[in-house]
Structure 1
Amino acid sequence: MADSELALLLARIQFAFTVSFHFIFPAFSIGLASYLAVLEALWLKTGESRYLDLFKYWLKIFAIAFGMGVVSGIVMSYQFGTNWSVFSDKAGPVIGPLMAYEVLTAFFLEAGFLGVMLFGMNKVGKGLHFAATLMVAVGTFISAFWILSVNSWMHTPVGWAMNDVGQFVPEAGWWEIVFNPSFPYRLVHTVIAAYLTTALVVGGVGAWHLLKGRASPHVRTMFSMAMWMAAIVAPVQIFVGDLHGLNTLEHQPAKVMAMEGHFQSHPDGAPLILFGIPDSEAETVHAAIEIPKLSSLILKHDLNAPLDGLDTIAREDRPPVGIVFWSFRIMVGMGMLMLLLGLWSLVARVRKRLYDWPLLHRFALLMGPAGFVAVLAGWVTTEVGRQPWVIYGLLRTKDAVAPIGVPGVAGSLAAFVVTYFLVFGAGTIYILKLMAKPPHPNEEDVADAPIRTAGITPAQALDRDGIHPRPDKQEGAE
């Protein structure tokens, strides 16, 4: 392997590692922000303290996950200017403004209201605090909107022209670029995935405490809410995923061919290959377990519909079939297990055994991280399936990399791996420790939890001295 090819491979691995690590946290915080808004709305509507306690319990976890998401995302912007400076130069007139919109709208909105959400429970009115929580939730969605618009344009580039210096520039206006053909499907699919990821984490935590015999109203409430989310949203996600797949077949057929393992064209109906070992050199799937003509039925809604294979695509334009084939099956497999969990929880509700069915609770606990596995597998399917293009059909990945050397990329990659696992590993362990403790009445605020002096919190010290009595300690307060 030539040095330039090795440098390209290391640069791709570095970006894949950092973006995958980063994607874990927004996938959680997007759904968790909305969950917090629902909890606070229920508390304001019903006045039941368990909703407020759950809000405070998950707010501490949200604060850590949100912080790690922001920090882990900063590194990627630097890579655009170092490892991928050629891409940044060529696509900057299109990509740059969209990324700027994300900062000006979503990030400023989140940053402006996050402090009120985290520390303002006892400092502002209930309505204003709820508004801040809503703004943070909306901000996470807007952030996903712009980031996915950028990513989707790289998959289905439209509305562009080439200027005199070889840069992609908007041709007529921004609406066609922002709402490119794959964007609506990708946005809905990804946001629902974030909601399911959060629901599975909440359900896993609730199942853990139920298995430990901690069947308090707080634990029951969050487990019940999570199971409702899984039961309702998992079927919707499967339907949306099917629509997204049909859109991908229209605009990126090579990706779907790799997902399906179709090396050869099938003029009279293509089989659905459930499992097998793809062999790109031999252009076949060894030991294939398949269902005749089912792929044509799924993709074309006709058992006998013809489907093209990778034999219609030049070898240099094909994605790595093995990676895409298996990452797609991992994603779909996780989706099927989510559907099973939701249906099982409905059976448990009907039989009035939602809180005392240990097998269900063990399954829910095992499914706790399934959302993260699914979103990462889906991301791998999407991005590896786009190869060898960084802007599909227009700019190859090998032509987008900067003139970098192997030692520099290898050294920075090693530093990222060590730093990420140490820093974000420690943060993840701390989140797991918080989750291991059940929510309880009079849950402490974020402002009280992190800093303790002589065994008491700052707010408790003020309460002790009578300087700043907290509203929740006053007679008649929630």
Structure 2
Amino acid sequence: MDALLLSRIQFGFVISFHILFPAFTIGLASWLMFLEWRWLRTRDGVWWDLYKFWSKVFAISFGMGVVSGIVMSFQFGTNWSVLSERAGNVLGPLLSYEVLTAFFLEAGFLGVMLFGAQKVRPVVHLFCTCMVALGTLISTFWIIAAISWMHTPQGHVLQGGVFSPGDWWAIIFNPSFPYRLAHMVLAAFITTCFVIGGTAAWHLRGGVQRGMALKMLKLSIAFGAIAVPAQVLMGDQHGLNTLEHQPIKVAAMEAHWHAGPPGAGVPLVLFAVPRQAEARNDFEVAIPRLGSLILTHSLDGEILALTSVAPADRPPVLPVFVAFRVMVGIGMLMLLVVAASCWAWWRGRLAQSAWVLRGWQLLSAAGFVALLAGWWVTEMGRQPWVIYGLLRTADAVSPNLQASTVAASLAGYAVVYAIIFGAGIWYLWRLLKKGPQAGETPPSHGSGAKTPARPMSAAGEADIAEGAHP
């Protein structure tokens, strides 16, 4: 447990926790945009009730995402100063563009979106919601651009060990960027979709707000019927791109240690216990040639074996192998639940189908698990490189970094996150269990509502409105 390994664990811990909230808010912001648009089109109060409920969930998730993201950025200076020194000319501007174009856009319209429904015209309020949703997508664009460049670096000039921008167009739109961006956005949308659908199924089974719950579930099924198959297709395209540019990562995903005879193809390993030191799999269960068909779209296609590179250039196979199967397995379960839901809906038995409702409940948080599994495949699969093929992770860590210092900060992160964010997640859980409430006041420009001048004024006005003495 040296400083390098502890720094990797710390960064993995913080970024794994952080990614959950931005991914959730990416989907929630677009969901809120749809709900408010439907309310403006129909003036049906149900849509506004749903908007108010999910805007509360969005506000809490957005806040936790911002806080965890700020903490994460400090590690570039404390633990990974060599990476900052050598690649900062490329990564620094990309991350700055994310702040200037996305974070400021979200922050500028977020207050109006959350608190200004009675202060501006409804169409202006919808515009603010659209800007927040756009901001989340722009933020994703720049973050994925930076990450993709580290996986498939292009457009840079390397002089004296320092990466400098040579062609910004090539840096941003590097070979893996389009596939990674589409895969990530779809993953965020699907994660949110199953949280909404799982919440709806929970309330349908409990008999709470059945009308709103059924509406949420039907919308989740309709969106899932489009997004989940699209994600399967995009995952296949992303895999082909990874095979072209990072073949050893694909070999780790499949635990493919040795090249077989010419024309024998690559088997699909369903189960195995990879042994890194011995370069073999124990308890392997595999289907001949199916791996070739999936990975290369040919029955006799070949991929590079892990033993084609030196042991020092191989990623950790076991976690990559397992995480990839967790991600794919959850995706297949989602596809099955969506198909069963479409069948029950077509037969007119959606609200009465206990199996369908239980399926949505069980998978309500599965999107987060699949998201983390996919992230671990991506990041651990590129090891031992932090900038693929150009800069090793071991060479990017801060010099003279003490293991005891990293261990202390990692323990501090774990304790603080468990307390603060544990409370936030617990509050989110309670809010989702309570569900949307009917009768929320829709926006009405010129209603006479005013913002209290002092925080205590708000409490006093609320007491008066309830008939209590101030």
Q: TM-score, normalised by structure 1?
A: 0.92
2:127 aligns with 131
Identical positions, percent: 54
Q: Cα deviation per residue 1:240-285 (whole Å; 9 max; x = unaligned)? A: 0000000000000000000011001133211011111111122111
Residues 337-416 of structure 1: pairs in structure 2 closer than 5 A: 337-403=333-399, 404-416=401-413
In structure 1, the partner of 2:241 is 247
- Gaps in structure 2 of 5+ consecutive residues: 444-448
Residue number in structure 1 paired with 2:446: none
Q: 2:35 aligned with 1:39, yes or no?
A: yes
Instruction: Measure how far apart 1:443 and its partner are.
Output: 3.0
Distance 2:303 2:238 in 1: 17
Aligned equivalents of 2:418, 2:227: Cα separation in 1: 32
Residue 458 of structure 1 and its aligned partner are, at CA, apart by: 6.4
SS of alignment partner, residue 270 of structure 1: coil
Matched, 1:427 2:429: no
Report deviation, 1:308: 2.2
Provide, for residues 381-400 of structure 1, a one-character-per-residue CA deviation record: whole Å limited to 9, x for no partner: 00000000000000000000
In 1, Cα distance between the equivalents of 2:213 and 2:341?
A: 15
Change in Cα spacing, 1:222 to 1:34, as seen in structure 2 (3 Å) is same
Match of 1:287 in 2: 283
Instruction: For 2:173, give the aligned amino acid.
Output: F
Kindly provide the CA deviation profile for residues 204-259 of structure 1, in whole angstroms up to 9, marking residues without a partner as x.
11111111122521111111111212222111100000000000000000000000
Deviation per residue, 1:144-176 (Å, 9 max, x gap): 100000000000001111234x210012x2110
Name 1:475's counterpart in structure 2: none
- CA contact 2:45–2:442 (8 Å) conserved in 1: no
Partners in 2 of 1:229 and 1:209 — Cα distance? 19
Question: How many Å apart are 1:460 and its aligned residue?
Answer: 4.6
- Report the Cα distance in structure 2 between the residues aligned to 1:34 and 1:462, rounded to whole angstroms: 36
Q: Show the counterpart of 1:206.
A: 200
The alpha carbon displacement at 1:457 in A equals 6.1
- 2:20 is the alignment partner of 1:24: yes
Asked if the contact 2:248/2:304 (under 8 Å) is kept, the reply is no
Q: Tell me, in whole angstroms, the C-alpha distance in 1 between the residues paired with 2:141 and 2:41.
A: 30
Counterpart of 2:226?
Answer: 232
Residues 302 and 73 (structure 1 numbering): CA distance in 2 closer, same or farther, change over 3 Å? same
User: Contact conserved, 2:194 with 2:360, CA < 8 A, in 1?
Assistant: yes
What is the match of residue 329 of structure 1?
325
Q: Provide the residue aligned with 1:436 in structure 2.
A: 433
Aligned match of 2:184: 190
Contact 2:98 2:139 in 1 (8 A): yes
- Does residue 168 in structure 1 map to residue 150 in structure 2? no
Corresponding residue for residue 211 of structure 2 = 217
The worse-fitting range, judged by mean Cα deviation, of 367-376 and 229-238 is 229-238
Q: Aligned partners of 2:78, 2:466: CA distance in 1, in Å?
A: 54
Once the two structures are overlaid, the 10-residue window that deviates more, 358-367 or 103-112, is 358-367
SS at match of 1:122: coil
Task: Give, as a single letter, the amino acid of the residue that structure 1 aligns with 2:187.
Answer: A
Rounded to whole Å, the distance in 2 between the matches of 1:90 and 1:458 is 56
Cα deviation 1:66-107 (Å, max 9, x = unaligned)? 000000000111100010000000000000000000000000
Report the count of equivalent residues: 454
Give the Cα separation in 2 of the matches to 1:63 and 1:444.
18
Compute the TM-score of the two structures, normalised by the length of structure 2. Answer: 0.94
CA distance in 2, matches of 1:198, 1:301: 31
Aligned with 1:275: secondary structure?
strand
Deviation at 1:440, TM superposition (A): 2.2
For 2:109, the equivalent position in structure 1 comes to 113
Deviation at 1:462, TM superposition (A): 7.3
Which residue of 259, 265, 276 maps to 2:259? 265
* 2:132 match: secondary structure: helix
- Structure 1: 5+ residue runs without aligned partners? 466-478
